[in-house]
A and B are shown apart, each in its own frame.
Chain A
Amino acid sequence: MSDEYNQQNTPIQAQSSETMSDSSGAMPKDIDYVRPAEIKEQELYHGHSFITKWVFCQDAKVIGVQYFLTAVFTGVVGLILSWLMRLQLGYPELVPFITAEHYYQFVTMHGMIMVVYFLTALFLGGFGNYLIPLMVGARDMVFPYVNMISFWMFFIAVCVLMASFFVPGGPTGAGWTLYPPQAILPGTPGENMGIVLMLVSLGLFVIGFTMGGLNYIITVLQARTRGMTLMRMPLTIWGIFTATALAMLAFPALLVSAIMMTLDKMLGTSFFMPVIMQAGELLSYDGGSPVLFQHLFWFFGHPEVYIVALPAFGIVSDLISVHSRKNIFGYRMMVWAIVGIGALSFFVWAHHMYVSGMNPWFGFFFATTTLIIAVPTALKVYNWIITLWKANIRMNTVMLFCLGFIITFVNGGITGIFLGNVAVDIPLSDTYFVIAHFHMVMGIAPLMVIMGAVYHWFPLVTGRFLNEKLGKWHFWITFLGAYSIYFPMHYLGFIGVPRRYYEMYDSPYITSATGMNEFITLAALIVGVAQLIFFFNIVVSLKIGKPAGKNPWKANSLEWLTPDVPPAHGNWGEKLPVIYRWPYDFNVPGAKEDYITQTTPPSDVINAEVKKT
């Protein structure tokens, strides 16, 4: 990567005046006509030292990789925590150091890490940074410096989070939802330093993320290249863009609840704390509402599900289209579904609270809104599978992960209909059914997309392919293993096994499920170890992978069309690309090749019977 970078390391001149006169001089009726650029190109800061190029770097692509690696590190920590939990559940008391306190700390840290520090950071910070400027034809994010700070805030947030493992009392064991009053009272592990560091870390995360998020939104809205209309953007960008908009609106709720709870803990305020009798002693709190916290938390927490899901929806649409050599079916509906799901996701939060003791009449409203969301979501699923119809499907690792995504997502989506429907939720809530549901739908399904996306874009980032054979082994072990962890787990929920139980003793419900618990634990261990294949593949392919060359998948979207592979700082060399069509012109009748890139002017493919551009 560094070699090409040096060659390109000349300041990029503003091109706009030239391009403006260029197009205004052309005939307006020209079939290749594209509206002139409206704003000047930005000038970029080029790092010269190792530190400015690779550490405090302002290049969105490097920041993307930094986000990616940091998030994957936290993900590995989360994975190891899940192993420890599973060991306790499958083989109670096998590992002597897993006490109830530790178990609950593992549960909490696993959940928070995976949802916030792993998935959110990976999709938006990682893929968002790398792909947005490339896919919309910008040289970089609009505020590269702020973008750099965004990553380092995230990095500090991760450090603070990890530090909580080493403070007296250990990390918080309040469950990832951090419900007060227990989160800040004795009786919950880490109720002093642990919870405070968690809240501080979340605050830092939100601050850092806001900086990144503003960048993503403004880059998409303002820095698209000529011809890149909103309805010509790849769905990946639509997904990341909408998810970022959700994050900007949802994270403030998390921030205020974190601040209020910190005040309750540190200064003895009573935002979330009513009168409490603890161990026979009356505490000094009075008048706060624990349910208020839940509303705030889920006002953030439910959009958060879609902050993870929407980028996955977008990315998987693009992967399916490229590797089945067919346009994504119903592009416009896909866009409106993404936007619609995003908007609706702000009206469903209390479906996490059906048995929370909130006003029971809320149940009617939130069950209805929640099931309405099923409609656009189902349409997206239909469109993915219709895209496969009469296509030309490359059965490579990328496509396998996409298909794995469809199966796990449909499975998890349908169990979501169980839990969204309030009467059905009542017996199932707080049982293993819920755990199985959300791991399937927002754990495994997005992970399938992330892994598929890594196999897909690795050639772009490094110039080399990942090994296909290892990739397929990685896929099958991960997919089959993960499916056999979570599919049977639903049935534990039917039995009535409650979640967050350190041990079941000999309760009548659980004795029949001991074998299943052991099986799930073994599957979890295998799936975790199988990720070593993935890491091995990445490390080895970096050095000796098959060279990919330009546009190895014969894709249409802009990121593959840079003058340099991997793309250099500034992305586009001398001139910004000009866009003539959407990114899904595969197998257009009359065209010579089975793909027409977004930068191909209509005059080059004069015989192609393009229906939509």
Chain B
Amino acid sequence: MHAGIIFLAVIVGSILFHIFTPWWWTDLASNWGAMDATINLTFWIGGGVFVLVCLFMVYCVFKFSYKEGRKVEYKPEDHKLENRLTIATTIGVIALLAPGLVVYNEYINTPKNALQVEVNAWKWGWQYRLPGEDGILGTANVAKISDDNPFGINLDDPNGKDDILIEDDVLHLQIDRPVKILLRSLDVLHNYYVPQFRAKMDAIPGIISYYWFEPNKVGDYEVLCAEYCGVGHYAMRAKVIVETEENYKNWINEQQTFSDLIANREDKKLKTNLIAKNND
């Protein structure tokens, strides 16, 4: 009989663990509360099924343990019961799937006013590119990357000239403004993941992937790479700072554009040339 008691303890223990767990969601800091809600729904329905199935099993263990000569039911099939269970399960599955698909539909349809932010990933670091005043990112290509053009921006594309380049792994975002993250990778797969924002997507070399969210809590957040990318994977961290509109504007005004960068580099070249000449 003790076997049934231990199984029962496992089920009760699982429920208690779930109720009293100190480990739960990292506080949400984006618009994706709907994802948490779908998960909670799945928890209630799924957890309920788990508990019912296991309790039924334990009941059978207590009630029908071996006794010589016990009368055993002989009923190979019961179509009515089987059909009922099929229908009930189907309803349960639809109840879980339907809200999930609604949320997913939101996830893949970016709002029109979303700020585009290009995340550039490589082994093992991050940098960012934001559109300039035209609101459009210039086209870019991995093959064009050089010291003078760290993002590989297409020089013939006028949209690229005013792009804001952030050669640093700290990204600033404005609170309550939707962001469309456009992911590019120079080498292998990466994934730009902030647990508090819930959203994530892989960066793939050769393709631009995307996702969106709307940060709604001021603060500093750690970015983790969530797609294995080699030995440096675990160290591939970055930072997102969500701040008020004012602070964000101040920050963005300090950043250099692609034209600034080209001008700076040319200045430097001139200077080094001058210094070299002077030394001669």
Contact = CB atoms under 8 A, between A and B. Distances in A.
Given A325-B72, A331-B76, A333-B82, A430 B57 contact: no
Contacts of B200: 355, 426-427, 429-430
Nearest to B7: A403
Interface in A482-528: 483, 487-488, 491-492, 494-496, 498, 500-504, 507-509, 512-513, 516
Interface string A165-197: 000000001110001011001011100000000
A332 interface: yes
Given A327-B76, A424-B38, A494 B70 contact: no
Interface stretch (B102-110, B162-170, B256-264): B102-110
B72 A357 contact: no
B60 A393 contact: yes
B187 interface: yes
Given A367-B97, A392-B64, A480 B10 contact: yes
B189 A290 contact: yes
A29 interface: no
**Which of A187, A488, A609 has the most chain B CB atoms closer than 10 A to its own CB?**
A187
A361 interface: yes
A410 interface: yes
Interface string B145-175: 1000000100000000000000000000000
A28 to B, nearest CB: 27
A410 to B, nearest CB: 5
Given A276-B186, A355-B200, A422-B100, A100 B231 contact: yes
A407 B191 contact: no
B10 to A, nearest CB: 6
Chain B, interface residues (CB within 8 Å), range: 35 or more
Nearest to A175: B228
A104 B229 CA distance: 11
A42 B84 CA distance: 47
A181 B23 CA distance: 35
Nearest to A181: B188
Interface string A141-185: 000000000000000000000000000000001110001011001
Interface string A357-396: 1001101100110011011001101100110111111110
Contact of A391 (B14, B17, B73): B73
A16 interface: no
B24 A367 contact: no
Contacts of B137: none
A509 B222 CA distance: 9
B206 interface: yes
Contacts of A389: 56, 60, 64, 73
A407 B11 CA distance: 9
Contacts of A368: 97, 101
Given A181-B205, A424-B39, A480-B10, A403 B76 contact: no
Interface stretch (B86-94, B111-119, B245-253, B270-278): B86-94
A612 interface: yes
A574 interface: no
Contacts of B126: none
**Which of A363, A430, A492 has the most chain B CB atoms closer than 10 A to its own CB?**
A430
Contact of B47 (A367, A414, A495, A594): A414
A101 interface: yes
Given A185-B187, A385-B60, A422-B101, A414 B49 contact: yes
Given A329-B76, A356-B202, A375-B90, A187 B231 contact: yes
A58 interface: no
Interface in A313-362: 324-327, 329-333, 355-357, 360-361
Contacts of B81: 386
B19 interface: no
Contact of A104 (B7, B97, B231): B231
B104 A391 contact: no
A496 B76 contact: no
Given A407-B10, A407-B57, A275 B142 contact: yes
A332 B77 contact: yes
A491 B101 contact: no
Contacts of A462: none
24 contacts: A179-B227, A182-B189, A182-B228, A187-B230, A274-B142, A276-B142, A277-B122, A330-B76, A331-B76, A375-B89, A391-B64, A395-B3, A400-B3, A403-B7, A403-B57, A406-B54, A410-B49, A417-B93, A430-B193, A495-B25, A500-B234, A501-B224, A513-B23, A611-B75
